[in-house]
């Protein structure tokens, strides 16, 4: 209700300014005790060995530095994913780099992993009194050559390991040059094998096993999806997130900002990401859980993702267009 009044005002602002203002305001409200926790009645859902209080999570990229975890959790999410974080801080691409396409219920972003670096993210996580399920999404710096990408993932993995409930390996952002090449068979096999070895070592060192999830692009062909699924199985990954944003522009080319470079998210992505989930599910046969993301604008979009084989879902663009009621509505439907 409240958000339907606020949205027209926020949409008058430049998208990135609106984003920062919203996160700052949520933080202030929470600290002042003016943002009560939305309580959603749900039977916990066990995925990756973790008990999720409800299956609706916040997708990566909204709170890149983990600076607003507690306030975002108050919106009713069953889990929060922060990041993508890189080893060193980086500014990301020049502004403007975030565009609304309201006629299509969509967003195009080419943020380029703007973040304060993994050390700052850890500081923020340590300072937060959030005790729920926290995913930390890791990536590579823009100026790290692709052949050294594994090093960046390993640096982040080691640093965030003690603070995460699960860790997401982001190889699917379209806004870091060549990043998606890590989804190719040879590169992916190498990356997954290195990550698995390090995860095993870290679990012995810390006496705690932290699951690893791999986040995929929606712009993969069926053959590539089959190859990736077999590698995920071979290297015993704990989950797969499908999907990130798309480079496709079908249906939005004619709209203002429709041809901006970057990743498209929101309503135009709904069906494609569900199709990817469906294909992954048929290869994985429930051996690895799927977290569904991409164009969940209504509770029933989320239910379709679960129907296609996802065990959990994540929201981003839907939250921008629909506000926190989407979290409540979706969790209520999925929990019923």
Which of 128, 173, 265, 273 is labelled catalytic?
173
Least separation in angstroms between residue 139's CB and ligand FMN is 7
Q: Whose Cβ is closer to ligand FMN: residue 265's or residue 311's? A: 265
Signed CA dihedral, 152, 154, 159, 163: sign only: positive
Q: Which of 60, 121, 277, 291 binds ligand FMN (CB under 6 A)?
A: 60
Within 255-274, the residues that bind ligand FMN by CB under 6 A are: 265-266, 269
Q: Would you say 98 or 157 has its CB closer to ligand FMN?
A: 98
Measured distance CA(87)–CA(109) in Å, rounded: 22
Give the nearest residue (CB) to ligand FMN.
61
Instruction: Decide: is 280 part of the binding site for ligand FMN (CB under 6 A).
Output: no
Please pick, from the candidates 124, 170, 183, 311, the single residue that binds ligand FMN as defined by CB under 6 A: 170
Structural contact between residues 123 and 85, judged by C-beta atoms closer than 8 angstroms = no
Distance of CA 5 to the CA centre of its chain: 27
How many residues at the interface with ligand FMN, by CB under 6 A?
28
The answer to whether the beta carbons of residues 17 and 96 sit under 8 Å apart is no
Contacting residue, 111, 121, 216, 326, with ligand FMN by CB under 6 A: 111
Which DSSP letter does residue 244 get? Answer: -
**In angstroms, rounded to a whole number, what is the distance separating the alpha carbons of residues 317 and 270?**
11
Smaller CB distance to ligand FMN: residue 53 or 66?
Answer: 66
Q: Smallest gap, in angstroms, from Cβ of residue 216 to ligand FMN?
A: 10
Residues 11-50, one symbol each (x = binds ligand FMN by CB under 6 A, - = not), give ----------------------------------------
Window contacting ligand FMN (CB under 6 A); options: 46-54, 177-185, 289-297, 326-334: 289-297
Binding characters for ligand FMN, 290-309, by CB under 6 A (x = yes):
---xxxx-------------
Angle of helix 149-160 versus helix 185-206 axis, rounded to 10? 20
61 binds ligand FMN (CB under 6 A): yes
Q: Is 173 labeled as catalytic in the residue annotation?
A: yes
Contact 310, 259 (CB under 8 A): no
Single residue of 47, 73, 98, 240 touching ligand FMN by CB under 6 A: 98
Q: How far is the CB of 207 from ligand FMN (least distance, A)?
A: 28
DSSP code per residue over 31-98: HTT-SPPPP-----EEETTEEESSSEEEPTTSSTTSSSHHHHHTTT-SEEEEEEE-SS-B--SPSP-E
Report the distance separating Cα 307 and Cα 301, nearest Å.
Answer: 10
Using the rule CB under 6 A, is 107 a contact of ligand FMN? yes
**Where is 138: in which H helix or E strand?**
strand 133-138
Which residues, other chains included, contact 73 with Cβ-Cβ below 8 Å and sequence gap of 6+?
37, 80, 130, 132
Q: Counting Cβ atoms within 10 Å, is residue 233 exposed (0-12), middle (13-18) or buried (19+)?
A: middle
8-state DSSP, 205: H
Interaction site with ligand FMN (CB under 6 A): 59-61, 64, 83-84, 98, 107, 109, 111, 113, 137, 170, 173, 215, 244-245, 265-266, 269, 293-296, 315-318
Catalytic residue numbers, as ranges: 173
């Amino acid at each position: 209700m409240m958000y339907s009044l606020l949205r027209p005002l926020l949409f008058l602002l430049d998208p990135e300014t609106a984003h920062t203002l919203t996160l700052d305001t949520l933080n202030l409200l929470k600290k002042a005790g003016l943002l009560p926790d939305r309580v959603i009645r749900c039977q916990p859902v066990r995925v990756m060995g973790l008990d999720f209080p409800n299956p609706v999570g916040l997708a990566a990229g909204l709170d890149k530095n983990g600076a607003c975890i507690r306030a975002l959790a108050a919106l009713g999410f069953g889990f929060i994913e922060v990041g993508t974080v890189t080893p060193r801080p980086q500014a990301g691409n020049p502004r403007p780099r975030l565009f609304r396409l309201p006629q299509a219920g969509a967003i195009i972003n080419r943020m380029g992993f703007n973040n304060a670096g993994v050390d700052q993210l850890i500081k923020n996580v340590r300072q937060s009194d959030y005790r729920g399920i926290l995913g930390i999404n890791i990536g590579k710096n823009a100026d790290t050559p692709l052949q050294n990408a594994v090093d960046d993932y390993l640096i982040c993995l080691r640093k965030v390991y003690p603070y995460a409930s699960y860790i997401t390996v982001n190889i699917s952002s379209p806004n870091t040059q060549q990043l998606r090449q890590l989804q190719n068979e040879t590169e992916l096999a190498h990356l997954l094998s290195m990550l698995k070895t390090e995860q095993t070592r870290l679990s012995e060192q810390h006496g705690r096993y932290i699951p690893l999830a791999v986040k995929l692009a929606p712009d993969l062909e069926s053959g590539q999806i089959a190859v990736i699924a077999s590698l995920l199985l071979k290297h015993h990954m704990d989950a797969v997130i499908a999907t990130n944003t798309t480079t496709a522009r079908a249906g939005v080319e004619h709209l203002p900002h429709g041809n901006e470079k970057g990743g498209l998210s929101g309503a135009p992505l709904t069906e494609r990401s569900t199709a990817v989930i469906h294909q992954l599910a048929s290869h994985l046969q429930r051996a690895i859980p799927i977290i569904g993301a991409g164009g969940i604008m209504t509770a029933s979009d989320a239910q379709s993702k679960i129907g296609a084989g996802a065990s959990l879902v994540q929201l981003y663009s839907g939250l921008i267009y629909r506000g926190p009621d989407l979290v409540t509505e979706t969790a209520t439907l999925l929990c019923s």
